[in-house]
Amino acid sequence: MRTGLAPDGGLYMPSDLPELKPAFWSSLHELDFTEIALEMARLYLEDELPVQVLKNVVNDAFNFPVKMHSLTEQHHILELFHGPTLAFKDFGARFMARLFSEIAQHEQREVTILVATSGDTGSAVAHGFYKVPGVKVCLLYPKGKVSRLQEMQMATLGENVTALEVDGVFDDCQRLVKQAFLDEELNKKLQLSSANSINIARLLPQSFYYAFALGELQKKGMDSPVFSVPSGNFGNLTGGLLAMKMGMPIHTFLAATNVNNVVPEYLKGGEFIPKDSIQTLSNAMDVGNPSNFVRIKVLFGSSDDPIRSHIKGYSYTDEETLEEIRTVKQQHNYLVCPHTAIGVRAAKEYAAKQSAGIPLVTLATAHPVKFRDVIVPETGQKIDVPERLAVWLKREKLSITIGSRFDEFKEFLMTT
């Protein structure tokens, strides 16, 4: 958890994937979110932290609601945007921050967190780790390719949080972070770790809300849902696969992307061929070489057929995304961000070819207010900015601009 990237450049995975008993999965409707989270976290962390400490971590990290909104009797939206930064990344970032805080109390060496972000990861990590003792955070985001609100949430904090505005695309940011983890000189001087989805500790809490969604469906007499997951770096979907491997009954997964469709093309029978990312309205999903695809391969024994059996791929253009935003507002009087719109459209396309009765759950990844510049012109509905977000728009931007060369990034890390 503390190193993030493995020494050979690969990503860490649990050596064993423990399972919870069927009685746990069938009784989810009786448990609240923190109770579900504690039971699932204990499988991986009870040897590292006393149960009471882990319980405190869970209760403090997840001190905000998780809600299910029903578009129809069959199709439900799991709202994951009610945390401090109004994005689903709050789950992983806040959980990780509190784990690192516990570690910092027992170790003397400061940890430096490196994060590449194409959107909400940065703000969630920035706020999750803000002023955490013993931890410095360095965020890398592509210049001009995140929304102003996303940028101001992460680039105005200061203290132990530094935001680097990289002259490039998200893939450049991710490359710089990976190179840093493999640089021997850097790692001798700094204790480096990560807080985005290349770190396995970010993925574990993302499995918790899949179980919560099943519990909400059980209250409606439903079971074994289809999950439609807006996907970029594929950490969110990998969290769902972890839940499935832990014993959770799931019908199938839908990997819903924008035109950065490397994985959907593979799922339809093609080769996995990384490409340069393309900028879209759903910017957090603008990833041309998803890091977590290798984890998906490992979870299925590197066999293509089981992957394609459990995951179906869908991809949509900006025009189709905007059309779906309008349609959901017109038909259901409900606002969705561009990422969530892609998930909703994939769920509807899948359902149109299936027999009725299978419950669908689309993961809503960000509050509509974070993309009001896109949504308002399409729907005509004003979206007020909550005061807890508006305050960041009034602050001074503190980011530092750098190029996309590794030597420049390394020098920055070595001298700060």
Residues noted as catalytic: 89
CB atoms < 10 A from the CB of 98, how many?
21
Residue pair 284/119 in contact by the 8 Å Cβ criterion: yes
Judge contact between 322 and 337, C-beta under 8 A.
Answer: no
Residue 108 dihedral angles phi and psi, to the nearest 5°: -95, -20
Angle at 148 (CA atoms; ends 279, 345), nearest 5 degrees: 50
Question: Beta partners for 78?
Answer: 68, 363
Q: Can you spell out the DSSP letters for 271-309? A: ----------SSGGG--SS-TTHHHHHHHTTT-HHHHHH
H helices, E strands: number in the chain: 18, 11
Up-side HSE of residue 107: CA atoms within 13 Å toward CB? 13
Provide the 8-state DSSP code for 369: G
Sequence-separated contacts (24+) of 72-76 with Cβ below 8 Å: 74/351, 74/356, 74/357, 74/358, 74/359, 74/360, 75/344, 75/347, 75/348, 75/351, 75/360, 75/362, 76/213, 76/216, 76/217, 76/359, 76/360, 76/361, 76/362
Pair of tokens at residue 156: 């105005």
The strand pair at 252-257 and 226-230 is best described as parallel
- The token pair at 212 is 């919560």
Distance CA 215, CA 397 (A): 42
H-assigned helices in 16-50: 22-26, 33-45
